[in-house]
């Protein structure tokens, strides 16, 4: 369970939050404003769905995103909560921006992603791994508290 959460912490710190920050900064500098609604590309929608819970496809996490095998849930919980607060701050900061035209290159799929799709992908990725952690907790061989 801790490994799932630590993977999310590493992904937020190294990938999602920096990419979201760059897309917000670019949108502000270019004056990209809109109240929506926003339509995203079919490829972005498909990739988000492929990364959502429950997992239907397997992906190998890069070594830099793989968690240490010796972590406890208590060790990673605080960072996870902090990253949720950071994400919420970015949502507030992006209010009024054009979430479709603001773009940033996503490192694992070298294409430009819309800011709105980056937000959606981070949430889908989190749902995927929180679901995975719940499955571990609910497994019959999981030790009782």
**Domain boundaries along the sequence of the chain:** 2-54+92-137
- Among candidates 8, 22, 28, 38, which has minimal Cα distance to 99? 38
| pLDDT above 80 (res 62) | no
What is the pLDDT averaged over residues 25-35? 97
- Among candidates 95, 78, 98, 88, which has minimal Cα distance to 16? 88
- Between residues 108 and 38, which one has the greater pLDDT? 38
Question: What is the value of pTM for the model shown?
Answer: 0.90
Q: Can you give the pLDDT at residue 139?
A: 78
CA neighbours within 13 Å on the CB side: how many for 79?
A: 18
Cα–Cα distance between 137 and 31 in angstroms, integer?
46
Q: Can you give the pLDDT at residue 145?
A: 59
Looking at the chain, the whole-number percentage of residues with pLDDT higher than 70 is 99
What is the pLDDT averaged over residues 75-91? 96
Q: Can you give the pLDDT at residue 137?
A: 76
Could you tell me how far CA 68 lies from the centroid of its own chain? Answer: 19
Could you tell me how far CA 49 lies from the centroid of its own chain? Answer: 13
Per the DSSP assignment, residues forming a β-bridge with 105 are: 112
Q: Return mean pLDDT, the chain.
A: 91
């Amino acid at each position: 369970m801790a490994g799932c959460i630590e993977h999310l912490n590493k992904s937020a710190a190294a990938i999602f939050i920096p990419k979201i920050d760059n897309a917000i900064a670019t949108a502000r500098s270019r004056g990209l404003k809109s109240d929506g609604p926003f339509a995203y590309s079919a490829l972005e929608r498909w990739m988000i769905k492929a990364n959502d819970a429950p997992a239907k496809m397997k992906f190998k996490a890069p070594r830099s995103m793989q968690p240490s095998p010796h972590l406890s849930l208590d060790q990673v919980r605080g960072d996870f909560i902090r990253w949720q607060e950071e994400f919420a701050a970015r949502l507030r900061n992006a209010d009024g921006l054009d979430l479709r035209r603001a773009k940033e290159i996503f490192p694992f799929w070298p294409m430009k992603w819309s800011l709105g799709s980056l937000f959606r992908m981070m949430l889908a990725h989190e749902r995927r791994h929180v679901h995975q952690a719940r499955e571990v907790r609910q497994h019959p061989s999981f030790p009782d508290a």
